[in-house]
Amino acid sequence: MSRTALVTGITGQDGSYLAELLLQKGYAVHGVTRHASSLNRARLGHLTGTALTLHHGDLTDAPTLQRLVQQVRPDEIYNLAAQSHVGVSFELPGYTMDCNALGTLRLLEAVRTLGLGGTTRFYQASTSEMFGTAATSPQTESTPFEPRSPYGVAKLAAHWIARNYREAYGVFACCGILFNHESPRRGESFVSRKITRALARMHLGLQDVLELGNLDAERDWGHARDYVEAQWLMLQQPQPDDYVIATGKRHSVREFVVAAAAALDLGLRWEGEGADERAVADIVPSGSGIRSGQTVVRLDPRHVRPIDVPALCGDAGKARHVLGWTPRTGFDALVREMVASDLALAQREARAG
Ligand code: NDP
Ligand code: GDR
């Protein structure tokens, strides 16, 4: 008999890849979407006519979550919904706590009070942001948490409440501690997509300047398509557990810009304090394709966060051993795929005038 999954955050980057994966595996997929005045289902358009059913719902609305869990009685719940932007969480700390922390509690309470703890498996989208200024690198499942943003704090509360429901009530809850993962479907305000979208547009003369904040931040960037497989694998194990999902390689924001510019053969001009080419030359091995030119990348303090996480890099050894999971897409291939997709988008924009 086909299995049923309930996915919150289905309109997001991960939600769309996960929905594809589950539909391929024969699941009936139920997605929770927020009501919005303008359409927010662009990432799901290609799934029309499949075993996908969408329901209005919101992580801030407990009665609706209760009703949806009761109605769908899912075999698996994937809680991907969140106010997911770290920078925005400094502007919206209350909402971020409500959605990301209490929202997870509301969903777990629905599972528990409906008596589904023993049958419905629960995936929680935890994050490397919970490590914050971790003293050790690479980070593993046992690295202490030290979050540096309202987003990280809220996600840590959700992480602990999911573990608590596992220990206290026997809910089959797994937390995936995922490091940054990107794709052509990444939201345009996250740094990877902001870079590939802007450079592709600048290549065609549609934009003059790319403004960024902290260029020295280092992240462990993987591909979302690979990472949703790990989410599914966690819920197929005999026992619930928590897993770090990462590539184990870290790159700076500056390196991301350089890699994207190289893919478009653009010459860069760095502006703003701390954005000089010498700093670039220090971190980019010679002969990697970087060259000076007229494409302006400007360091703008408006994009710098009140505090930032300087560097994150994960050790996914446990996922490799227990889940048999390894990332398939490396940094260069990820950047090239995103650049190619954004170049096609910019070309359509240029044609439309
Ligand atoms: P996105 O920002 O692309 O998607 C977030 C989703 O959550 C969207 O579908 C959004 O709906 C939905 N959402 C936001 N607020 C609410 C709410 N109040 N009620 C219901 N739905 C809501 O995120 P990603 O796909 O990149 O990430 C998925 C999850 O994984 C998130 O929880 C994120 O915090 C976490 N995560 C992501 C990582 C990454 O690198 N991508 C790494 C680690 C964790 P709408 O379309 O209406 O805005
Ligand atoms: P992050 O991703 O905060 O790691 O959270 P983001 O792409 O927003 O930032 C990564 C790093 O780049 C620096 N940065 C900028 N960031 C943005 N968004 N815009 C800029 O202009 C800019 N300039 C420099 C940031 O300061 C930061 O250091 C993502 C989200 O998907 C979370 O939901 C998820 O939990 C974590 O990844 C793991």
Residue 289 lies in a domain: yes
* Domain shared by 168 and 79, yes or no: yes
Shortest-distance atom of ligand 1 to CA 11: 9
Ligand 1 nearest atom to the CA of residue 41, by list position: 46
**Distance between CA atoms of residues 312 and 177, nearest Å:** 12
Q: Would residue 200 count as lying in a domain?
A: yes
Residue 269: give the domain boundaries. Answer: 191-216+253-309+332-352
Whether residue 112 is found in the same domain as residue 11: yes
The residue among 178, 207, 242 that closes a domain is: 178
Q: Which helix (H) or strand (E) holds 122?
A: strand 121-127
Tens-binned pLDDT, residue by residue, of the chain (353 aa): 799 999 999 999 999 999 999 999 999 999 999 998 888 899 998 998 899 999 999 999 999 999 999 999 999 999 999 999 999 999 999 999 999 999 999 999 999 999 999 999 999 999 999 999 987 999 999 999 999 999 999 999 999 999 999 999 999 999 999 999 999 999 999 999 999 999 999 999 999 999 999 999 999 999 999 999 999 999 999 999 999 999 999 999 999 999 999 999 999 998 887 665 545 444 444 444 456 678 899 999 999 999 999 999 999 999 999 999 999 999 999 999 999 999 999 999 999 97
Q: What is the pLDDT of residue 291?
A: 60
Using an 8 Å Cβ cutoff, are 55 and 65 in contact? no
Specify whether 152 is located in the same domain as 196: no
The reply to whether 230 falls in a domain is no
CATH number, residue 124:
3.40.50.720
150 and 201 belong to one structural domain? no
Q: Are residues 169 and 199 in the same domain?
A: no
Does residue 175 have its Cβ closer than 6 Å to ligand 1?
no
> What's the CA gap between 252 and 216, in Å, rounded?
6
> Are both 206 and 274 inside the same structural domain?
yes
Tell me if 113 is assigned to some domain. yes
Of 192, 282, 296, 172, the C-alpha closest to 236 is 172
Question: Complex ipTM, two decimals?
Answer: 0.99
pTM: 0.96
> Are 166 and 208 contained in the same domain?
no
Judgement on whether residues 279 and 170 belong to the same structural domain of the protein: no
**Ligand 2 center from residue 218 Cα (angstroms):** 10
